[in-house]
Structure 1
């Protein structure tokens, strides 16, 4: 097991579930509600797991490598992205399930989440595969899946101040 593969698998599942929402008839509000609830929980728990386990280690890696980007810039951007995803998720809850407005709000979550995943896959996950030994990636993966499993019923999502996050995890 490898933390980078666990995160990539979560990303694949998120993309798959957004596709399901697009394929469900808007009149089938029960199915839309059920799939959206599961996806919302997955997105929130995934972000919390990354913030607890992945990004603190990425910060240390960035400092150790003395990248051209300032240490923490990539992580700060990711925390900002997670806030943007949480805010987009909150925008869905005020809409009538299946309505045009609801579909637009879900599409917005998909857009901001897709942007975040693409950047993370190009940068953070690549950095991990290149510079973190498989044994450590395995240990992190076990902790990551355990955290996600413990939180499978959902969590209280809250935005984080990216700069404060960097200070607390540096």
Structure 2
């Protein structure tokens, strides 16, 4: 499957994960239930960013017309998302500060998805042949699936300029 489609599928899963947290909060679900929902979403957010940084953004730098600008922005966004996910992990599930960290993750992720869908994904669809998009999609899907348990995910923040220099 085309990498741009897979990224959109993940974006939908992320939006639904945050919506599920809304439902759980409204239903006054217990913290154990809320924590399980969050844990799955947090793994998805981290694995998705890791996979994009490994497979999508290096190719966007090579093929896209606005690759540098889009990549710089995305790496910074990924750092913001990871920071908020980490912050949530430092607080008891369901606490005020935990919900605030989850809200920060949602805001950073929502902003990132909108920018990526309008910019990087559109740029890549216009400039990368379908065969390349499909090849990257398979690599991305396999990598992300192998990290569904939450293991072996690179959760480190990256300097956008250094990332771009290393992937040119």
- TM norm structure 1: 0.92
Q: State the shift of 1:4 in Å.
A: 0.5
- In 2, Cα distance between the equivalents of 1:27 and 1:93? 19
- 1:169 paired residue number: 167
- In 1, Cα distance between the equivalents of 2:117 and 2:89? 28
Q: State the shift of 1:129 in Å.
A: 1.3
> Is residue 50–residue 154 contact of structure 2 (8 Å, CA) maintained in 1?
no
- In 2, Cα distance between the equivalents of 1:139 and 1:27? 41
- 1:3 paired residue number: 3
Say yes or no: does 1:115 pair with 2:111: yes
Q: State the shift of 1:18 in Å.
A: 0.3
- In 1, Cα distance between the equivalents of 2:45 and 2:29? 24
Secondary structure of the equivalent of 2:53? helix
- 2:102 paired residue number: 106
> Is residue 14–residue 44 contact of structure 2 (8 Å, CA) maintained in 1?
yes
Say yes or no: does 1:81 pair with 2:89: no
- In 1, Cα distance between the equivalents of 2:60 and 2:130? 15
Counterpart pick for 2:87 among 81, 84, 91: 91
Q: Once structures 1 and 2 are overlaid, which stretch shifts more, 33-42 or 71-80?
A: 71-80
- 2:61 paired residue number: 59
Say yes or no: does 1:33 pair with 2:29: no
- In 1, Cα distance between the equivalents of 2:75 and 2:82? 11
> Is residue 29–residue 97 contact of structure 1 (8 Å, CA) maintained in 2?
yes
Say yes or no: does 1:12 pair with 2:12: yes
- 1:148 paired residue number: 144
Give the gaps of 5 or more residues in structure 1: none
Q: Once structures 1 and 2 are overlaid, which stretch shifts more, 71-80 or 115-124?
A: 71-80
Q: State the shift of 1:151 in Å.
A: 1.1
- 2:121 paired residue number: 125
CA offsets 1:10-45 (integer angstroms, 9 cap, x no match)? 000000000001110355111111011100100000
Query: Paired residues, what number?
Result: 164
Give the gaps of 5 or more residues in structure 2: none
4+ residue runs over 2 A deviation = none
